[in-house]
Amino acid sequence: MLIIFVYSAIISKKGSDFLKNLLKSLPIKIFQSDQELDNFLNTLDNPILYYNEDLTPWCRNRDAELKSKFRCVTNRSGYTIYPIDEGKVYKVFAPYYKLVSQEPPKPYTHWKIDHIVPSEFKDNTFRKDAINILKTYAYNDNPSRLSVYMRNGLLSAREAYHGFHTEHKKRELLFREFYYRVYWQEPRLLLGDAYDTAFDQRLRKLYWSYGEEGLNIFKMVVEARTGNRAVDDMVRDLYHEGYLTNRKRMALAMYFTKTLALDWRWGDKWFAHALIDYDPIQNSAGWQWAASVGVSPSPYFVIMNPCNIKDTECSEISKIDLRKRNDEAKQKLKKVKNAVIPFIFHQGTSK
């Protein structure tokens, strides 16, 4: 059995390093072009392809081409918990969650191809790491970082769902599933010009900070120079680890879009080149959720306080001082029309 690794998506430096380490010990052959793959297939007699399906629209097109060259066997359950093309497509998470919570998914089953899977894959260190992490975080709600393994095909969504035993963890997986179902139904959201539009058509003409001013503010964020200690620490963590917890991603995205009025599409593309677990669907949907322009979004008036996400110098500032700084910021905004100051301190403990 030969494992052919095919991927066609934006990938960060951290993600590239992860994949290189993952592939080192496996019998992998990577083809540089379609012609090279075709020439190889012509040397085989009735080749069979086992693969996990990718739901992004361009990968669906790629898989359709591969099916014409192989006698294919697909394992869609590796990507989602429930069959993605069955049942009603919801545009609001709450009713969807209520429905699926009453219908537990079928138990996870492995492919019945163990007799032809090489031992190098069965004993792969990364796969063992994924299983051990799943067991470690099965009964607590702390961030597990399993999204890295799930995105790279080392752990299936259904396997994770049955492995977790807390309501919070299962809900997070179902939110992930919810986004997949919406984008499966409307692949236009990730194709062509539609990628640059918000899911909610009424909010596609919002004013964002563009021009030289917007670019300067964007540069301050990506270079961790906003002056907000909590935000800058998150950005440094993103570059150092290629990963942020879900709450940090939400807080950073809300600060980016609602506090600094930067276009969510800039943030989407920024994360695409930084995250080790980058997923086009989840990334796009997450940024739109934070900016309150997407499917089942956060209320427009909700802004998570980044200082509450991590213990930093910012979180030690007293509420009185926070109010004073907010008042000063408001006065500056009144004096300068359409001004956007580098950063605004958040008050209180909004979540």
Task: State pLDDT tens for residues 24-82.
Answer: 656 666 666 778 877 877 887 777 777 777 788 877 887 787 777 777 766 666 788 88
Q: Mean pLDDT across the stretch 99-110? A: 76
Q: What's the whole-number average pLDDT of the chain? A: 76
What angle is formed at CA 121 by the lines to CA 120 and CA 126, rounded to 5 degrees? 110
State the pTM of this model: 0.78
Confidence of residue 173 (pLDDT cuts 50, 70, 90): very high
Q: Tell me how far apart the alpha carbons of residues 323 and 306 are, in angstroms, rounded to a whole number.
A: 16
Q: Tell me how far apart the alpha carbons of residues 89 and 234 are, in angstroms, rounded to a whole number.
A: 34
Dig out the tokens for 272 from the structure: 């695409």
* Better-predicted residue by pLDDT, 207 or 149: 149
Q: Is the pLDDT of residue 345 over 50?
A: no
Q: Is the pLDDT of residue 199 over 80?
A: no
* Stated length of the chain: 351
- Residue 172, Cα to own-chain centre: how many angstroms? 12
Confidence of residue 111 (pLDDT cuts 50, 70, 90): low
Sign of the dihedral through C-alpha 170, 172, 175, 179 = negative
- Residue 277, Cα to own-chain centre: how many angstroms? 7
pLDDT at 116: 52
pLDDT at 218: 93
pLDDT at 312: 40
CB 15 within 8 A of CB 278: yes
Q: Is the pLDDT of residue 144 over 50?
A: yes
Q: Which residues pair with 71 in a beta bridge?
A: 48
Q: Tell me how far apart the alpha carbons of residues 293 and 264 are, in angstroms, rounded to a whole number.
A: 9
Confidence of residue 178 (pLDDT cuts 50, 70, 90): very high
CATH number for the segment(s) 3-185: 1.25.40.80
Q: Is the pLDDT of residue 303 over 70?
A: yes
Dig out the tokens for 193 from the structure: 């010009």
Ranges for all domains in the chain classified under CATH 1.25.40.80: 3-185
Most confident of 120-124, 182-186, 242-246: 242-246
Q: Mean pLDDT across the stretch 105-118? A: 60
Residue 207: half-sphere exposure toward Cβ, Cα within 13 Å: 3
Confidence of residue 337 (pLDDT cuts 50, 70, 90): very low
Ranges for all domains in the chain classified under CATH 1.10.579.10: 195-335
DSSP state of 78: G
Q: Which residue has the tokens 């793959």?
A: 37
Confidence of residue 336 (pLDDT cuts 50, 70, 90): very low
Long-range residue pairs from 307-311, CB within 8 A, at least 24 positions apart, any chain? 307/228, 307/229, 307/230, 307/345, 307/346, 308/251, 308/349, 308/350, 308/351, 309/230, 309/234, 309/247, 309/248, 309/251, 310/230, 310/233, 310/234, 310/248
* Range 195-335 has CATH code 1.10.1270.20: no
* Better-predicted residue by pLDDT, 296 or 86: 296
Nearest alpha-carbon partner for 304 in 263, 244, 246, 262: 246
Nearest alpha-carbon partner for 298 in 264, 269, 275: 264
Residue 129: half-sphere exposure toward Cβ, Cα within 13 Å: 14
CA distances from 237 to 76, 194, 252, 257, 280 (A): 33, 31, 12, 19, 21
DSSP state of 13: H
Confidence of residue 88 (pLDDT cuts 50, 70, 90): confident
Percent residues over pLDDT 70 in the chain: 71
Most confident of 82-91, 238-247, 334-343: 238-247
CB 296 within 8 A of CB 178: yes
Helices (H), 137-166: 147-151, 157-163
Q: Is the pLDDT of residue 122 over 70?
A: no
Confidence of residue 286 (pLDDT cuts 50, 70, 90): very high
